[in-house]
Amino acid sequence: MRVVMWIIRLLLFFLLFGFAVKNDHLVSLHFFFGSSWQTPLVFVILVAFTAGALLGVTATFGSLLRQRREIGRLRRQLDRATRDRPATPVPSAAEVQAPETF
H or E segment to which residue 8 belongs: helix 2-22
* pLDDT by position in tens, the chain (length 102): 889 999 999 998 898 888 878 877 888 888 888 888 898 888 888 889 899 999 999 999 989 999 999 999 999 999 998 888 766 666 776 666 666 666
Q: Residue 35 in 3-state DSSP?
A: coil
Asked if 65 contacts 73 with a C-beta cutoff of 8 angstroms, the reply is: no
* Structure letter (DSSP) for residue 25: -
Q: What is the pLDDT of residue 102?
A: 62
Q: What is the pLDDT of residue 65?
A: 93
Residue 100 to residue 102: CA distance in whole angstroms: 7
Q: How far is CA 12 from the centre of its chain?
A: 22
Give residues with Cβ within 8 angstroms of 20, minimum separation 6.
42
